[in-house]
Chains A and B, each alone.
Chain A
Amino acid sequence: MANYAVATVIVLSIILIGLLLIRPSITAAQGGKIVAFIAFFILPIVATVLGASIHLENSKSTQFCLSCHVMGPYGKSLFRDDPTYVPAAHFQNNRIPKDQACFTCHTHYTMFGDLNSKMRGLQHLYAYYLKPIPNKVQLYKPFENRECLHCHAGARSFEETTPHKEMKEQLTDNQMSCLTCHNKIHDVANIDKAKQWKGPGT
């Protein structure tokens, strides 16, 4: 829908600019000057603002993240046929939206979290194209419990189960990482040996 809106703005702008190119005399009249201002100034700015927000939204998609081949094994790990692995269990049981699987856990749930994530994304591009890709891809910072608690805090399965109940404060204050116990994450080193789930959409 948003893509159509920006496409309409772009096409309208091109048509008006083309018209003014073919018939420059239009700009001699007052109305022509206004049309020129809209075509040369307003519409390109609107197209850029709308386009940038669409790009930001697109960059949250699983398909977008996995379009870099270095991310391929991480995508595969979502289909590991073992519910003890955190990403696979979340992805296969719809605990996270399938079309935003990476972003849902790897964003920062803070005021400018989305923007921060995108800035880190630009760092990824820099690393991908201009630096040698490391053998082991690592997070820039340790994974924050906040990203897990964004969904799990308040859920009965978290609040009323042992040992979450007993160590809630430690988890909330990030004194102890969720990953201390839930430590089966992507494990891409062994991904080719793992059994894969052949569910819908695989």
Chain B
Amino acid sequence: MTDDASRLQRKLKTAAYLLITGLVVEGISLYWSHPMSFLVFIVLGGILLTAGIVTYLIAIVTH
């Protein structure tokens, strides 16, 4: 595997972990009926998903 390819894989892995964590956080917040649940969904879940998507996009654009 070339350096370029392994760098891509590394970035995709980071994006994958961020997205999975973000999706799990969002999923849990949907079953939690409390005013804080929306904040957890949008702030924590949203940041993790945005970071994951941005990492993924950077990975494919710079590859």
A residues apposed to B, CB below 8 Å? 3, 6-7, 10, 13-14, 17-18, 20-21, 24, 27, 36, 40-41, 44-45, 47-48, 51-52, 54-55, 58-59, 61, 63-64, 67-68, 121, 124-125, 128
Q: Using A24-B9, A51-B41 as known contacts, say yes or no to A41 and B35 having CB atoms under 8 A apart.
A: no
Cβ contact within 8 Å between B56 and A41: yes
Cβ contact within 8 Å between A67 and B30: no
Measured CA separation A195–B42 after assembly (Å):
41
Q: Using A44-B19, A44-B52, A51-B41 as known contacts, say yes or no to A64 and B12 having CB atoms under 8 A apart.
A: no
B residues apposed to A, CB below 8 Å? 9, 12-13, 15-16, 19-20, 22-24, 26-27, 29-31, 33-39, 41-42, 45-46, 49, 52-53, 56-57
Measured CA separation A50–B38 after assembly (Å):
13
Cβ contact within 8 Å between A55 and B53: no
Q: What are 13 pairs between A and B in contact, CB < 8 Å?
A: A10-B27, A14-B20, A17-B19, A24-B12, A36-B56, A40-B52, A40-B56, A51-B41, A52-B42, A55-B41, A58-B33, A61-B33, A64-B33
> Closest CB-CB distance, B14 to chain A, in whole Å?
11
Cβ contact within 8 Å between B35 and A64: yes
Contact residues of B: prevailing secondary structure = helix
Measured CA separation A48–B34 after assembly (Å):
18
Choose one: A24, A45, A59; the contact of B38 (CB below 8 Å). Answer: A59
Measured CA separation A12–B41 after assembly (Å):
19
Cβ contact within 8 Å between A17 and B33: no
